[in-house]
Structure 1
Amino acid sequence: MGSLIIKKVIYSGDAYYYASPELNKGINIIVGDNGSGKSTFSYFIEYGLGGKIKPFSKNEDNSKYSLIIEDTNNYVQLDILINDLAYSLKRFIGAQDIFVKHNEEVDSFSLERDKKTAPFTFSDWLLGKLGIPVFELHIGAAHWYFNFSDLFRLLNYDQNTEPRKIYKEPVAENFIADSIIIRKSIFEILLGMSSADYFKKLDAARAALKAKDIAKSLLESFTENHEVSGDTDKLSNRKDFVEKEISVLELQRNDLLKISTRSDDKTGELAEIQSKLVGLELKASQDRIKITNLISEQSKIAILHEGLIQEINQIEKIIFTHEKLDLFAMEICPFCMTEKNVDKGFCICGSKFNDDDYEKFVYNTNEYKDILSHKQKSIKAITLAVETYKEEVKLLTADIQDTDQSIEEYTEKLKKIILTAQFAGNTTRIDELNDRIIKLKDELVQLNFDLRNIDQEQKLKTDFNLKTKAFVQAQNSLKSAKEAYDKNNASTIGLFNEVYSALLAESSYKSITAYIDEDYMPYIDNGVYKANSSEVPKRLMYYFTILSLALQLESVKHPRFLLIDTPEASGIDTDHLNQNLLLLETAIAMGIAASGKEKDYQVILTTGYGKLPEEFEKYIIERFSEKDKNFILKPKTDQSLISKTE
């Protein structure tokens, strides 16, 4: 478990600058009028730690911080301590990398992950120093790397997020970033509840299930679209016999052609034409077999095409009529990954269903839109396949017509040569041999086709059996990890509920019972309605509780750092606000008392004048004032102030 302490906040540009006083371990308070720079101070900290601050972006349409956007050569610098080791972080405005200085050595880390150019990011570096493992999560087809910015959502009580939402608004603006599973994972990581072993095994079980389902689909698709029959040994023996028989017949034919005497020089031409005729007839036979197979494949693809159209229509109806449906694989429960004993052809609820009418995961409406998009892409691919089959049939038909025409032409040539040439040889016997050779070669083509189908089916069966075995092993491994995971986390949740309930009861909320539900969201006094101002202590005590547990438990990964930006929201009055803020000291004292030893921590609070308890006056380190024109950003033209900071 690591600790994060901010020692100094610096902004520097060609036009403006700011240098904070040295911040302390413990509680630090910055007070100021509205618009004087309190929130800017918090922005600098978040930006310097790799966060996205919309007012600092030139691409934002609204709320641009013009003094910073229009400044040049400007950057934010944070002097920090991680486990009492000093580092300096420098990030230029608009840049997507951060320079880290430690012991005169400087490294640069990208904020955006790229497998080729930046596989190791600033977030990876910072989490590593704090003792928090880089955590990955698979959500259906999406793959999520947790960044420090994600965890910062429970380290920063900001004023832009509605208090009822608890978690700070996410940086990424998509449904995955603020999904329940992401929020739960943030809580679990910071509270030390996330078992890397458990989640790796969960991902492995999901991947094994997906691989098994794909193998099953491939096998079923192959058996539905190919006629697989016959015994491999018998077919192989017959193939060997046919190949030998063809060789014998070709030798006999060649011998007969050699001993044939001719009355003129047209005998060689006769043999050449006969050879071409045999080749053309064999090609025409093979092409006709291909056309038959293509027409069969085309028919099956057309059925698949029609089924997919019906499936798309069904998904469109689901999106239109339902916000959320639980559709899942019938073999296992999608949540606990355990097998369900269900009769084949029946749903868990007992209703009869068709195997083609369900999906393998739990989706919401947005995810159904993604599924619909994929299905629509699939139907395009199938439509292309249908057109390809039609084109291949058309080409083969034309090719057969050309071949038949060539056969007629060579047959006419053969007749003319026979009429003008006299042979002592047996031409009837040669024709018989040619007919037998053609028939045997046709049979050989079919034998090879049957053997390939049997071999492909066997490979698919073997692959499916291996994937099924791997899934069973992954499922058993996950079950063991889940039992250990639940057991280890129960005590942490119990302590959280104990501290949270005690703090909230003393707050302006005056709750009777308070605990977190299975999604780690507060459930208070059986859900009885409270005024909007009660949302402030509800959220604030949540953050205080996590800090208290971080001071108490070695297992908690929270870096014992908390940034609170202007908590006077939702119409809360000053007396109630002060009552709630004083509980910060209570939460800290509870954590230190339970652990029995002092630990480094830091709380940075920005608030307005007269909106903090008198007991907190001793923690004030910086004051901004609109009346005194003392704003956070100071013009660099003020040489006296520049000298002072130097």
Structure 2
Amino acid sequence: MIIKKITVKGEKGFSISLGRINYILGENATGKTTFIKLILYSLGTNIDSFIEEIDKSKYTDHVELDVELKSGNSYRFIRKLPSSGSILVIPLNEHNELVEEEVEIKNLEEFSDMILLEEGYGTQEIPYGNNNKANMRYYFMLRAVTADQDTPAYKILADLGGSVRNYINNQSLIKKAIIEALLGKENTEVQKARLKLQKLFKERSSLISKIQVMSEVSTSSGLNNEEFSEIVKLKNKNKIIEKIEGIKEEKDRLSMENYRYISQLETMNSKINDKSSLKLTKENASIRQDVNQLILQRDDITNVSQTISTEIETLKKMIIARQIITLIPVEICPVCLQKTSILPPTDGHCSYCSNEIASDDLERISQYKRMLEESLFEANKVREELLIQIKETEKRKKNIDKKIEKLKEKFLKEQQQNNTPAENIIESIKERVEKLTKNEQMLEVHLSYLNTIDELKLQKNKFEFEIKILKDELDQLEKNVFYSEEDKLETWRKLFSEELNYVFGNNMNATLDSEYTPLIDNVNIRNMSSASLKVATRLTYLTSLFHLKEHIDINHLGFILLDSPKDKDLDTDKYGRFLDIIEKSHSGQVILTGSILEMDLYNKEHVIMTLLPDHKLLQ
């Protein structure tokens, strides 16, 4: 597993991405231990208590952890704070985007089983004292990669899962099962191959189920036509396609025949052969022409009337203007405001505009106006007469239309009573086309089912081929596993001895017994008198198992969590050499918290967070 990012949401929170080696440095009570606890909590471990900001003040809502598992799948785990019996599991795609349609809510047991399977461990029962059995849980595995501050150094494996798990945590058989699971009976390539094979089996089963369902649907598709029943039973796609093409050709032929009979029937229905009907039709056409002529005359008269009315209005305005100007006395000059009098013209020119005055101008205009008014009266009179003629002519037309319609109804009634063969044939063709269309649709649906089944079978065959290839590869991998459990243990013993002697600076006889318990100069870690040696033994036990995967292909979790591992009993020189071992790691992920007062001991490039009293983890 690779832990990519951790986020705490709420009124107070944080978000930080993680690399291969990660140092979180800070002063006491700034959140270093809380950081490690939040990771363990996100991975399904129960935590008895967090800091006050989480437990009591409720400043946090939930914690999110983005991870990539050995199966190649990436997820975001979301768990409610400060405690919850379920975890939200959301897949992440290749762009690190949430695949929300595949979200699942799992209880802690289901969550543990999911990770164990995807990490290549599988689920198992672990027997321990008095015929008791415990199911393997992922938090069991976390005990072998975590160095916390609550567990005494001599216990080596961290006491995780809360106080209710103390009895289980102290069982030696469970501790041994944890280490054996990390060592792995097969290498990780075998585990990956088995996971892939399991996935292929699942996908193949899903395809087989789909094929069965589609086959059942195709046989009950409702195509009960005896003509096609044998074809459907045989699932003969070529025969079905031939039948569909035949139906289309038959429908085209019937369509042409139907058009011919409909045209014949329309021609028969449009015939009105009696003389009275022909006479009425001719008379109706003449009346329609008369109406059109009258309407044109009416429109012409209307236009003339409008023109005359406009001209009369203009003349009225001219006469009224003259009367107003000449009859109203003007005693004050509008320019100089002096009293004045308008004298009558003496030289034949207007005293206002100085234009020459025609003596008969007013009389001429008045006569012209009267002539226009008489013309308008005559035009309106003609227009009224035209409207009366139009109304009477349209009335005559409506009467003739009614007579023609009655004759048509009489003729059609006679046609229907005669029950013409054309109508019967058209109806028969219509029924035949409807039946053919229904059969065509049913055959096409059945053909689509068969095509889908064939596509599913092709996919199934592809899976069968991949399964065969993978089985052969798995057989070969299993044959190539030549490291025995003793080989792994001897390599681990060597690494453990080298790392412990390097850290402690002495040449001690450090080894592991058959129960994977550390022995230093033949002394069990529990019986050691040196507290400093106990701390160094615990740390190098975890790191040597972590580094073992670089020498032998084991199934380690792939990361270690070290919460302030220096401890009060480990001096600075020894701790500095321990950090050298961490820095020399070539693979896997290290998450370590430490004191900011010892900043000089750490590789600054790997410090991802610094915590201070005024800059704590949860701000």
TM range (shorter): 0.3 to 0.5
TM-score by length of 1: 0.46
Higher Rg: 2
Q: TM-score, structure 2 length as denominator?
A: 0.48
